[in-house]
Amino acid sequence: MELRHLRYFVAVAEERNFTRAAKRLGIKQPPLSLQIRQLEKEMGTALFRRETRGVELTGAGKLLLEEARLILRQVDRAKTSVRRRARGETGRINIGSAGGTYFHPLIPAIIREYGKRYPDVVISPEASNTSLLVARLRAGKIDIAFIRPPFEDSEGVATVQLVDEDALMVLPAGHALAGSVSAPLSAFARETFILFPRALHPGSYDLIIAACHRAGFDPVIGQEAPQIVSTVPLVAAGLGVALVPRSICGIHADGVFCLSIEGDMPRAEICLAYRRDDRSEAVKNFVAMARRLTAAAQPQRDEITRKVASAGAARH
Amino acid sequence: MELRHLRYFVAVAEERNFTRAAKRLGIKQPPLSLQIRQLEKEMGTALFRRETRGVELTGAGKLLLEEARLILRQVDRAKTSVRRRARGETGRINIGSAGGTYFHPLIPAIIREYGKRYPDVVISPEASNTSLLVARLRAGKIDIAFIRPPFEDSEGVATVQLVDEDALMVLPAGHALAGSVSAPLSAFARETFILFPRALHPGSYDLIIAACHRAGFDPVIGQEAPQIVSTVPLVAAGLGVALVPRSICGIHADGVFCLSIEGDMPRAEICLAYRRDDRSEAVKNFVAMARRLTAAAQPQRDEITRKVASAGAARH
DNA sequence: CTTCTTTCATATCTGCCGTGTATGATCGGC
DNA sequence: GCCGATCATACACGGCAGATATGAAAGAAG
């Protein structure tokens, strides 16, 4: 049996007339009769009672009509489903965010816009740290990761830089330098530095230490924060100072003051990462959307930077 | 798209190898590749990633694999459903029984045996009277009717005689003739006769009246019973006597005595009726089953008759 | 590095079968 | 009783499913 037989059968059943059905199908009546006879032979029973004025469905024919309609509908549904899947309009994307990246307004904006454009793609977000997310990305557990470079084991991982912001020094509100516009890093040579575990993100960790060394001191490491974001409350609690990306500093700023650091300081970037060999159209669409929104945000980046800065300054 | 494409696609997806799939399908590899390419063209996307060692499904391919399996399974199910329907192994039969016919053991036996042999045919029974059942049969509301001839409006209705039993006179237990083996109908010339409404079954009604006339009297009609079966309790209540088919008399026999009537008396037949032009295999199977069981019961009919008689006699 | 094997793609041919054309058979209606 | 509608039958044709032969690419084996 072929779908042709079912399509022809449904047409005849609906028209109750071979000639009209043939016209509707764009073929002639004799071949249509032949196809129906073939179907009847395979079914082992007559499907129509041929009468002088058209045809009537037999009991078996009535049953087949229902079934055939179901099948043809299912075939149509399958076709459009597959096409949509191929265009990346359906499916699932597992997205990982390294701690703190989603505090930059661009990240939720990308996810929001993607969800609006592709409402039938299920988005499953998770939060973790850069090292673990890269591992999970490579393992296929997630498809997209918002992470902070640099990171290791980048084999097969493609990245798109989305954000390049500077890092600010977070001070307790009562600190002597609170209220200043900026200071050199060396001004904090005697401060206790609050850092996240090195294993969480060795690249950033080492860059901070190296910057201190360049500024002529070896930082005193105090309390270890479980994640990058949680350094800020520890600073607020008076346990030391911390160097954090501007976007994070701009949000968790109760009881703390943020200060620009003068001179050659490491930047805090945010990258979107995905498997270079990922064939998923949904992922490609997501990356394209991220690129587009990043480009659109580029002209406004300075403005955003200024806004975050003034917001931070306003809270001193 | 044709089912061929889906069948081929599933084979390739399962074998992950065109050559093996082709062998499994009984065709060669090049035409198989062509068919898959056609399918991919219609879907607007690649379904397989051709690699050096066989092929891998793409995301769209994975989705189509699920859908195709569903579709092919549904096609198979539809085929067997239609074939079974054509053999009368599924479907529905609405069966009507005229009051009292199902008290003859053959009728429930037929229904029981049919249900055992065709367990997937839904049997929907209803009880009524012969006139109404014939009308409902002709109207297509029911497909099979167990009725007592004669009946009118038999146009297009075929019948099979199942039972031919005699009628017994039912007397209250204290009646003067209770205990006798038989009596002529004229012995009841002065009795009050309990009858069902003539409209219920004009044929039988008139036969009873005619028999009385032949026996030389005009029967006194007493209480009218709503159905044939309910004449018996009215007799038990002492409201008169009644002439009922032997099988009915054999069952509702508390406080009554049954007596054979001598001479030329109308017989009580039970017929199976169906529409002569009914194309339903289920109905044909039912009629065939009824014929078979009737033929099988024929040699035992005398025995059954004796048993019913002795059972009736035992209760005097 | 070369050769062999495996696997899918390409090119071309063939034969079946789906379709078209012509015609017949049946039956209801005017 | 002829006409028109409808489905069946007979036969011719063309496209396409499938066969055959070969190529291309990439591991595997030596």
DSSP secondary structure string, B185-226? GGGGTTSEEEE--GGG-HHHHHHHHHHHHHTT--PEEEEEPS
Within 8 A of B78 by CB-CB distance, chain A residues are: 64, 67-68, 70-71
For residue B224, give every residue at least 6 positions away whose Cβ sits within 8 Å of its Cβ, in sequence order, or none: B194, B195, B196, B197
Q: Do B43 and A67 touch (CB under 8 A)?
A: no
Across A28-34, average pLDDT: 93
The pLDDT assigned to B305 comes to 52
**CA atoms of A274 and A88, how far apart (whole Å):** 16
Chain A window 21-50: residues with CB closer than 7 Å to nucleic chain C are 22, 26-31, 34-35, 38
Q: What is the pLDDT of residue B110?
A: 96
Relative to beta strand A144-147, strand A268-275 is antiparallel
Could you tell me which residue, B143 or B199, shows the higher pLDDT? B143
**Confidence label for B270 from pLDDT (cuts 50, 70 and 90):** very high
The pLDDT of A273-286, averaged and rounded, is: 93
Quickly state the pLDDT bin for B170 (edges 50, 70, 90). very high
pLDDT (mean) for B195-219: 90
B82, B83, B93, B283: which to substitute to probe chain A, counting the most A Cβ within 10 Å?
Answer: B82
Per-residue pLDDT reduced to its tens digit, B47-74:
999 988 889 999 999 999 999 999 999 9
- The lowest-confidence range among A222-236, A246-260, B283-297 is A246-260
B55 touches strand C (CB under 7 A): yes
Pairwise CA distance, residues A307 & B5, whole Å: 59
Is the pLDDT at A117 greater than 80, yes or no?
A: yes
Does the nearest atom of strand C lie within 7 Å of B38's Cβ?
A: no
Phi, psi angle pair for A94, to nearest 5°: -95, 120
> Does B50 contact strand C, using a CB cutoff of 7 Å?
yes
Please give the pLDDT value at position A83: 96
Distance B29 CA to C2 C1' (A): 29
State the Cα–Cα distance between residues B194 and A246, nearest whole angstrom.
Answer: 106
- Distance of residue A197 Cα from the nearest chain B Cα, in angstroms: 38
What is the rounded average pLDDT of the residues A229-254? 85
Question: Using an 8 Å Cβ cutoff, are A142 and A253 in contact?
Answer: no
- State how far the Cα of A204 lies from the Cα of A134, in Å rounded to an integer: 15
DSSP element (H, E) containing A175 = none
Chain C positions within 7 A of any protein Cβ atom are: 6-12, 18-22, 26-28
Question: With contact defined as beta carbons under 8 Å apart, do A95 and A143 qualify?
Answer: yes
Coil/strand/helix, residue B155? coil
**Is it true that the peptide bond before B266 is cis, omega within 30 degrees of 0?**
no
Q: Which residue has the higher pLDDT, A316 or B154?
A: B154
Are B83 and A281 inside 8 Å of each other by CB? no
Assess whether pLDDT exceeds 90 at residue A62.
Answer: yes
Alpha helices in A145-280 (DSSP H): 202-214, 231-236, 246-249
Closest C1' nucleotide to B22's CA: D18
Number of residues assigned to chain B: 316
Q: Which amino acid is at B282?
A: A
In the predicted model, what is the mean pLDDT of chain B? 89
The Cα-based distances of B117 to B106, B110, B285 in angstroms read 16, 11, 10
| pLDDT band at residue A305 using 50, 70 and 90 as cut-offs | low
Q: What is the mean pLDDT of residues A190-199?
A: 91
> Can you tell me the mean pLDDT for A112-124?
97
Percent of chain B surpassing pLDDT 70? 93
CA of B31 to C1' of C7 (A): 15
Q: Name which of A5, A62, A65, A82 to mutate to probe chain B: the one with the most chain B Cβ atoms within 10 A of its Cβ.
A: A82
Search chain A and give the residue with CA nearest B76. A1
Model confidence at A292, in pLDDT bands (50, 70, 90)? very high
Q: How far is the CA of B264 from the C1' of D26 (A)?
A: 101
User: What is the Cα–Cα distance from A288 to B163, expressed in whole angstroms?
Assistant: 84
Between residues A305 and A152, the one the model is more confident about: A152
CB A94 within 8 A of CB A126: yes
Q: Residue A302 — very low, low, confident or very high, per pLDDT cuts 50/70/90?
A: low
Residues of A in contact with B91 (CB under 8 A): 59
Chain B residues whose beta carbon lies within 8 Å of the beta carbon of residue A59? 85-86, 91, 279-281
CB B121 within 8 A of CB B90: yes
Mean pLDDT, rounded, for B11-35: 94
The pair of three-digit structure tokens given for residue B10, joined into one six-digit string: 């599933």
Mean pLDDT of A1-12: 95
Task: Give me the phi and psi of B224, to 5 degrees please.
Answer: -95, 125
pLDDT of residue B203: 85
Indicate whether B161 pLDDT > 70. yes
Tokens representing residue B312 in the block: 């009736």
Q: What does chain A come to in residues?
A: 316
Average pLDDT over residues A232-246: 90
What is the arithmetic mean of pLDDT over B132-148? 94
Cα dist from B35 to B6, B55, B279, whole Å: 10, 15, 42
pLDDT recorded at residue B315: 42
Chain B positions in Cβ-Cβ contact with residue A85 (cut-off 8 Å): 59-60, 63
Closest CA to A85 of B64, B267, B73, B256: B64
With b for 16 or more beta-carbon neighbours within 10 A and e for fewer, the A250-262 pattern comes to: bbbbeebbbbbbe
Q: Could A71 and B68 be called an inter-chain contact, meaning their C-beta atoms sit closer than 8 Å?
A: no
How buried is A53 (Cβ within 10 angstroms: 0-12 exposed, 13-18 middle, 19+ buried)?
exposed
Which candidate, A176, A148, A172, places its Cα nearest to that of A232? A172
Instruction: Give the one of A42, A44, A75 whose C-beta lies nearest to B71's C-beta.
Output: A75
The distance (Å) linking the CA of B112 with the C1' of C29 is: 49
Q: What angle do CA A22, A27, A30 make, to 5 degrees?
A: 70
C-beta separation of A184 from A215 below 8 A? yes
- The pLDDT value recorded for residue B181 is 87
pLDDT at A312: 46
Q: What is the pLDDT of residue A283?
A: 96
Q: What's the pLDDT at B126?
A: 95
% of chain A at pLDDT higher than 70 = 93
Distances (CA, A) of A166 to A244, A260, A267: 9, 8, 5
